[in-house]
Amino acid sequence: LLYLDHCGSTPLAKEVEDSILNFLKSESFGNPSAVHHEVGKRANELVSASREAIAHALGAKSNEIIFTSGATEANNLLLWGFALRYRAQGCHIIFGATEHKSVFDTCSALSDLGGVAVTECGVDASGEIDLDELERQLALTQGQSVLVALMHMNNEIPARHPVESVSRLCTRYGAFFHCDGVQGYVRERLDFASGLYGSYVISTHKIYGPKGLGLLVFGSGPLSTRITSAYHGGSQEAGLRPGTLNTLAIVAGAATVALHESKRAQRVQHMAHCAEAFVNTLSGLISSFKLTTPLNSKVAGIVNFYFEDIDAPTLLASLKEVCINRGASCTGSGGEQYSHVPKALGLPVEVQANVLRASFGDAVSMEDSKIAAARIAERVRQLVDERIK
């Protein structure tokens, strides 16, 4: 199998696997909240040490890290939390047109809640937020409690929002800046203390760590806000995300973050080389191969493409040994549905449904990336031949 879906998920790194095995041997199965007895205390100490290490790596304070079950939950927790806190006085959420569904669909659900206005902000043809439009929208919401939800880097197209300018605009207009950093953190270091973000979200299974752990970095910086959690039933994570903590994933998460900090540069370089090799091979073999957005050195390893006159579902169905997608895996757009992102780019309708994504990382070599491209080219030729017959 040729695995070209690193934006979907990544395999566990050996070092992270070792941390899990050590944890399993350590008899730290107690409830980390049961600090009055020894077994609970042991688990609690592991959680605290992991939290401390993660916070340190992210330039955050340990009380600014909220553990969740993943980025989807972290985005929901923050957005619902903001809406519930501010809707009585009327609040406004501005979100990007290419956000991951965990932000996009949540904003649309919140618009039905009452007291919450939501506005979508468009992107240009390269997928970057339109800063003039954002500023116009911010100016119209003056005096209200406003949250801007914009991702750092996109998970389907190689696009990076100018988060520095977005943050400056948020500060100028008194808005809270929530950033889905799942793909951004893969490629860039986070220094939360820089004050660029009000909150930032990371998912460990995108960086060779466990599935089922999200990090909501949120707290006391200059853009801080208060939120009212939609959850009840426990005092964990300052009462914002109640529920017994997943000690195993948290311990593994600390190992994941530490490893990623030491390997990021190397990983990014590898992703960039694989993506280039893939694109060069395909462009050399098939003239109808087109990129929706050009390769972007700031967002290494993501290729969003289509073949003129080739139906993406038919191609995917005949490509079982090459793991690629039609969009984000979590929305089902991996297979049967297609994504909202090509539409936001303004691509013609006939192209929107036939866009594919390949994303690179440690589970694929440069040679395999070329082989995958050649296999795809072979299938495209077969589909064209069958049509001619």
Q: Which residues bind ligand PMP (CB under 6 A)?
A: 7, 70-72, 100, 102, 151, 155, 180, 182-183, 203, 214, 328, 330
Say how far apart CA 31 and CA 251 lie, in whole Å.
14
Find the shortest distance in angstroms from Cβ 186 to ligand PMP: 9
Torsion angles phi and psi, residue 213, rounded to 5: -135, 125
Find the shortest distance in angstroms from Cβ 211 to ligand PMP: 7
- CB neighbours of 317 closer than 8 A, spacing ≥ 6? none
Torsion angles phi and psi, residue 2, rounded to 5: -110, 110
Say how far apart CA 364 and CA 362 lie, in whole Å.
5
Closest of 369, 357, 376, 371 to residue 159, by C-alpha: 357
Closest of 69, 126, 117, 120 to residue 95, by C-alpha: 120
Q: Which is nearer to ligand PMP, 339 or 352 (CB)?
A: 339
Q: Which is nearer to ligand PMP, 92 or 178 (CB)?
A: 178
Residue showing the smallest CB distance to ligand PMP in the complex: 70
Q: Which is nearer to ligand PMP, 97 or 310 (CB)?
A: 97
Amino acid code (one letter) for 295: L
Find the shortest distance in angstroms from Cβ 45 to ligand PMP: 26
Compute how many other C-beta atoms are within 10 angstroms of the C-beta atom of residue 171. Answer: 15
Q: Which is nearer to ligand PMP, 183 or 247 (CB)?
A: 183
Which token pair is 251? 């311990």
Residue that the structure tokens 């070209």 belong to: 4
Q: Which is nearer to ligand PMP, 30 or 70 (CB)?
A: 70
Q: Which is nearer to ligand PMP, 94 or 380 (CB)?
A: 94
- Exposure string of 210-224, with b = 16+ CB inside 10 Å and e = fewer, is bebbbbbbbbebebe
Find the shortest distance in angstroms from Cβ 374 to ligand PMP: 27
DSSP H or E run through 233:
none
CA distances 306 to 342, 350, 367, Å, are: 11, 11, 22
Find the shortest distance in angstroms from Cβ 69 to ligand PMP: 8
Burial class (CB in 10 A: 0-12, 13-18, 19+), 89: exposed
Find the shortest distance in angstroms from Cβ 204 to ligand PMP: 8
Find the shortest distance in angstroms from Cβ 171 to ligand PMP: 24
Strands (E), the chain: 2-3, 65-68, 91-96, 116-121, 145-149, 176-180, 199-203, 214-218, 289-291, 302-307, 322-323, 356-359
Q: Is 330 a catalytic site residue?
A: yes
Q: Which is nearer to ligand PMP, 178 or 379 (CB)?
A: 178
Which residues carry out catalysis? Answer: 330
